[in-house]
Amino acid sequence: MSNIYHVPLLLLEQRAHSIIQQQLKLDLPFAEPRIGPWRAMAGRVDGAKVSVQIALVGKYNGLSDSYLSVLKALKHSCIAAGRKLVVDWIDAEALEPATEIKEKKVFDDSWKVLRECHGILVPGGFGDRGVEGKILAVQYAREHKRPFLGVCLGMQCAVIEHARNVVGLAGANSAEFKPDCKH
């Protein structure tokens, strides 16, 4: 199969729906499944030639299932837009100044990927590890007018970034990460 969305079409050709209907003794109000929109979607996936690169700035990048719902949402957005999704995984900590000191190449490579993407997505997460890197990614998106989506913690990072760099509340943070923060 050229893509997974052709599997139901193959099952339809093999009459699997009729077998299931007979075995379960289902009385359906239609003779054949209405599969036109599904067939069109499978065709759009095959026809997508233009790629869109989305930088996913997270901290569970080694466990891509952690972001499975986000990845599926991106994939289906690309199907609707007729684009081919390319996800560039960026470890949020790799964008932080401490990484520049310890692992300059990792830092430089991560920032290069961020600069070359078409859009930036900062997903949810827990704890303060990588938060400053996420905030830096948000700042880059804002300053360079890159499309940005913050989900859960990602939106929280966007609020912190805005408070610090637009509103001028130096040291703004979340009490979740820094209980004694002034802003």
User: In sequence order, what are the residues at sequence separation of 6 or more whose Cβ sits closer than 8 angstroms to the Cβ of residue 145?
Assistant: none
How big is the chain by its Cα radius of gyration, in Å?
Answer: 22
**CA 135 – CA 92 distance, rounded (Å):** 9
**Rounded CA separation 163/179 (Å):** 17
78 catalytic? Reply is no
Q: Which of 112, 64, 108, 63 is nearest to 87 (CA)?
A: 64
The catalytic residue among 78, 117, 152, 157 is 152
If you ran DSSP here, which 8-state letter would residue 123 be given? -
The terminus-to-terminus CA distance of the chain in angstroms comes to: 54
> Mind telling me the catalytic residues?
152
